[in-house]
Chain A
């Protein structure tokens, strides 16, 4: 058994200076430009950000699911094994077993021609080498565990199930081998509000009962606020702020986070205007030099347009481990920007 990464006993997975670029026609597409994230056992780390920020690409890098056109840099440490330098064969033995995944569209990893029970059993047979009948028995109790009627659902085909039920099946196969890490990429985005909260409750149970570390990808801030322990805010392939959920949502230390929160509609904001962020996210082939957020940032100064702000611990004495990548993080007065 491998040891955990240095200095952090509970750390299960650690992205270190992860970069991902794709070969594109107009030059390289730099989708992820240096991301550091530590996942702790039995906790939820949310990766938030707008479309194109690099959330899914980061997740796929961990799972080794990127196309050939992608080049990765940095390290992805699972305990102390670097997944990026692992041969495909060894990675396949980890993926789906010790690191599992759930996606937005459950249909994408359910085979429409195969009964649900056989699909869940398949995972167990592949990874644990148990025989069919035993696998089906275990599949049934897994389906029960995700609060489906295992006996019935075992024999169903995917098209006979609702979206929420299919996502439960996807979770059942994901947790079949009691994974240490679960990567959930927008797992509730396609579902109704009530189903959404049921699925989150289920993921939370998985976290508690199996001690699974969850990387939760979402662009839904209210959802993340209630569900995640830690949050990384991604913008144009870089983390601009990293903090506990409680810290982040009580007071943002990066103008982008602050603007995102202020742009989010909420019943308590009735009658107020939402803070729209001018412009749009940069094209990954044409990211501005310096701070990528500068063209949209209300606080941008000359320095921002030339010097890349590094993700660093805040100098404010009252803050613990939160990090911000803004030259002027210390000048953000919370009440000011947030509500204004």
Chain B
């Protein structure tokens, strides 16, 4: 299968307040990044805090449009879209972020949170209810709990609801920005298994951002390493782990504490 996502020369400059208030400091948060993600695969994105991963994610989806460069996702170029096409683009490409405690509206039942996007897409009430029940079931939340508010759920359950909400838009591409880093390992495993199942069942493509090198190495088909806004290494996951070219990548993976002794590609 071909590419679902192509990014060329993407840059994003932030203007941060300088120490002397007048002069704004220019932060090149993303600096000339190019990458491609094949259909139905996972690109893992790692890099130290502040290296620009989240900025890249938001720029790719035009949530914070890039200052230079181009993006094509599922054949759509968000820079050249009419309003209604942009709405379609927003459906096809979704983002799931880290904090399951902050991302849901505490005043809405989880069913209402999931239904919101469907309403915007013009689903009539009946169809909406049916679809919400389906989606909650898909992520493993009992439908009898659909009327409960987020406060009544654990972190892992909330993260499932957030995934259901993203899936409500029938996306083709999901950016997962640290989707499990606030969860315990036993719950994290549930979410990771769920994401891998959904990828197979719904033929999804992921950009998976995480600090956890073991997790990225476990689930990605390809890995990109970011440093100071640039991609310093990118390639097939097993190769990047076993034979990184870039010294920073090498240090990163060599220092990663490991649970098991075997290293793929090094046996």
Q: Residues of A with Cβ closer than 8 Å to B?
A: 50-51, 163, 192-195, 197, 219-223, 225-227, 249, 259-261, 263-270, 273-277, 280-281
Nearest chain B CB to A44 CB, angstrom units: 14
Contact with A along B234-267 (1 / 0, CB 8 A): 0001100100000000011001111111111000
With beta carbons under 8 angstroms apart, the residue of A194, A227, A263, A266 that contacts B251 is A194
Say whether B187 faces chain A, with CB atoms less than 8 Å apart: yes
**CA of A3 to CA of B242 in the docked complex: distance in angstroms?**
51
A269-B185 contact given A194-B48, A274-B192, A280-B154, CB 8 Å threshold: no
Q: Which 3 A-B pairs have the closest CB atoms?
A: A277-B186, A267-B217, A274-B189
Inter-chain contact count A-B, CB under 8 Å?
105
With beta carbons under 8 angstroms apart, the residue of A163, A226, A268 that contacts B257 is A226
Interface segment out of the listed B2-10, B60-68, B141-149, B206-214: B206-214
A261-B259 contact given A51-B184, A222-B214, A267-B218, CB 8 Å threshold: yes
A225-B154 contact given A260-B186, A274-B193, A277-B189, CB 8 Å threshold: no
Q: Is the CB of A197 within 8 A of B255?
A: yes
In the complex formed, the residue of B with least CB distance to A250 is B261
**CA of A273 to CA of B261 in the docked complex: distance in angstroms?**
18
Given A193-B213, A263-B185, A273-B193, 18 more contacts at CB 8 Å? A193-B252, A197-B255, A219-B184, A219-B185, A220-B257, A222-B256, A264-B185, A264-B259, A267-B258, A268-B264, A269-B218, A269-B260, A273-B196, A276-B187, A276-B189, A276-B193, A277-B186, A280-B187
**CA of A163 to CA of B219 in the docked complex: distance in angstroms?**
28
Interface range on chain B (Cβ under 8 Å from partner): 35 or more
Q: Is the CB of A267 within 8 A of B154?
A: no
Q: Is the CB of A267 within 8 A of B241?
A: yes
Contact with A along B199-233 (1 / 0, CB 8 A): 00000000000011111011100000000000000
With beta carbons under 8 angstroms apart, the residue of A50, A266, A273, A280 that contacts B259 is A266
Q: Is the CB of B187 within 8 A of A194?
A: no
Q: Is the CB of B257 within 8 A of A267?
A: no
Indicate the member of A50, A220, A249, A263 with the most B CB atoms within 10 Å: A263
Q: Considering the complex, which residues of chain B in the window 49-76 have a beta carbon less than 8 Å from any beta carbon of chain A?
A: 49
Say whether B156 faces chain A, with CB atoms less than 8 Å apart: yes
**CA of A193 to CA of B227 in the docked complex: distance in angstroms?**
13
Nearest chain B CB to A291 CB, angstrom units: 16
A222-B257 contact given A267-B217, A274-B189, CB 8 Å threshold: yes
In the complex formed, the residue of A with least CB distance to B184 is A50
Q: Is the CB of B212 within 8 A of A268?
A: no
Q: Is the CB of B260 within 8 A of A265?
A: no
Q: Considering the complex, which residues of chain B in the window 153-206 have a beta carbon less than 8 Å from any beta carbon of chain A?
A: 154, 156, 184-190, 192-193, 196
Q: Is the CB of A265 within 8 A of B219?
A: yes
Q: Is the CB of B190 within 8 A of A276?
A: yes
Q: Is the CB of B255 within 8 A of A194?
A: yes
